[in-house]
A and B are shown apart, each in its own frame.
Chain A
């Protein structure tokens, strides 16, 4: 088996790939090796894998139903029998609520990561590549969105769309895209005047092909890094909306909402707010670490060495 594995590895690391598929697999394998060499990124990846696993198998992992209230057993401290992380104000098991809350967190993260960067990328690259009036109009719209305080704008959107976690995420995404648009535009401006864009224009390529096939691949790496760095802020913004009663609605076990519930007892029963806080901290840190590692993999200039 070892020799077989070794030959697969050699096949993947071959300097002279024979087919397109081989070349792509080899590039991916080399990227994975780079990522694996970055220990901090691997820690981040491990935390995120655990988070995804927890979310997937929440019903199997959770010791209690996260919604069952047991008023005689409320505000139990850490290490209570049957409730390792204690219970909250209504006697619900905090560990179970955190396990189920990972689903909501992932849902928020996935939804925001789908909407905001893609909208920003679209607006930014079109604006940067087209220039002229298109650029002026799109960038002024971006400026208008940037000029509002983020949470206030999100509040306005939620008030218009109605409360709930989906609308909260949508509102956060709508306020989160302008920085991505600005970044993508800045990158596009440096890329569009480069020789390789001139070269493909001389082959008769249209703007659509140039933007999607030649500019996007170069913008995406910095965008991914920015998304992972923003994730912590996004989770907290969702929690903030939940605190104001405009995000996750009780009894949903959203981590941010759990913190705001525990806030009332923070002096006497600190674990109620602290445990979900630690979870948010760990996940945000994991995204930051992974984002940093991904940057090293995705940046073509760094992988040249």
Chain B
């Protein structure tokens, strides 16, 4: 198996010279093709920032990143966006309030140069479990779970290999969370996707991923197999603490 995402010694900064803030310090990780990798840690530990650096939304970084063997520089081209897509945390903020589902998906398809837009929109909606009835709705006519399905459809539109998931369920209530997670698992096996998933919820990561990196204050403390995590075999105190804190929920 080849490597889908490889990150070495990544540093990400925010702000100007005098109040520069380093959000990610010396992070390294690699994700195999077709694998599902989790990033866990408390708020502000730099999990989402790693995703932002990969997608180019956080432009101040150094170190090296490569996607499917291609090294990334500071400018992303269209082929990158065809390979890597992202699902955002808050489905209430990630859909344009004045664009219907149809507009969102058609525009994405057109940007990637697809011709058979009409058929593809219907197919995408079907893939994420929304009927054609939802096609011309506006975001305010949809529930949170439905919105997140639309956001997932948008991310799938360019037929990417890698999906970056930024806490895709944390803004949803528990029953809907399970639906979305199952949908993501199904889509992953169906399309052979690689997942890099950020979550503060260890239960979600344990359900979705095979391996996970534990982050604290911008550093990767430990990379751990989910099987080991379930068994409580940790090398670091912080991981053990994190596990303890969510023990009641995992069990």
Interface residues of A (CB under 8 A from B): 15-20, 22-23, 26-27, 194-196, 198-205, 213-214, 217-218, 300-301, 303-304
Contact present for A202 and B102 (CB under 8 Å) = no
Answer yes or no: B86 CB below 8 A from chain A CBs. yes
Bound form: Cα–Cα A20–B118 in Å: 11
Are A300 and B95 touching (Cβ within 8 A)? no
Asked if residues A203 and B98 are in contact (CB atoms below 8 Å), the reply is no
Taking CB atoms, residues of chain A closer than 8 Å to B138 are 27, 300
B107 engages A200 (CB within 8 Å): yes
Other-chain contact of A304, B78, B140, B151, B157 (Cβ < 8 Å): B140
Interfacial chain B residues near A16, Cβ < 8 Å = 133, 136
Q: A195 and B90 in contact (CB under 8 A), knowing A203-B111, A204-B78, A204-B111?
A: yes
A contact residues around B111 at 8 Å (CB): 203-205
Task: Evaluate contact between B55 and A199: CB separation under 8 angstroms.
Answer: no
Q: Could you tell me how many residues of chain B have their Cβ less than 8 Å away from some Cβ of chain A? A: 32
Identity of the chain B residue whose Cβ is nearest the Cβ of A218 in the assembled complex: B98
Residue from A15, A194, A204, A214 having most chain B Cβ neighbours under 10 A: A204
Tell yes or no: B81 within 8 A of A by CB: yes
- A23-B102, A198-B57, A200-B96 are known; give 6 further A-B pairs, CB within 8 A: A18-B136, A20-B136, A26-B136, A199-B154, A203-B154, A300-B97
Kindly identify, within residues 113 to 167 of chain B, every residue whose CB is under 8 Å from any CB belonging to chain A. Answer: 133, 135-136, 138, 140-141, 151, 154, 157-158
| Residue B100, interface by CB 8 Å | yes
With A196-B94, A200-B107: A23-B88 Cβ-Cβ less than 8 Å? no
**CB atoms of A202 and B55 under 8 A apart:** yes
Contact of A202 with B81 at beta-carbon distance under 8 Å, contacts A17-B136, A22-B136, A300-B98 already known: yes
- Whether the pair B94, A204 counts as a contact (CB closer than 8 A) is no
Helix, strand, loop or mixed for chain A's interface?
Answer: helix
Query: Are the C-beta atoms of B94 and A23 separated by less than 8 Å?
Result: no
Chain A residues near B135 (CB, 8 Å)?
A: 17
Given the interface contacts A202-B86, A300-B140, does A196 sit within 8 Å of B108 by beta carbon?
Answer: no
Q: Interface centre among A194, A195, A205, by most B CB within 10 Å?
A: A195
Whether B96 contacts A196 by the Cβ 8 Å rule is yes
Nearest to A305 among chain B residues (CB) is B140
CB distance from A302 to the nearest CB of B (A): 10
Asked if B93 is an interface residue, CB under 8 A from chain A, the answer is yes
Q: If the complex has contacts A22-B136, A23-B136, are A195 and B78 also in contact, measured as CB distance less than 8 A? A: no
Question: Which of chain A's residues have a CB closer than 8 A to the CB of B86?
Answer: 199, 202
Contact B140 A198 (CB under 8 A): no
CA distance A196 to B92 in the complex (A): 9
| Residue in contact with B81 in the complex, picked from A17, A198, A204, A218, CB distance below 8 Å | A204
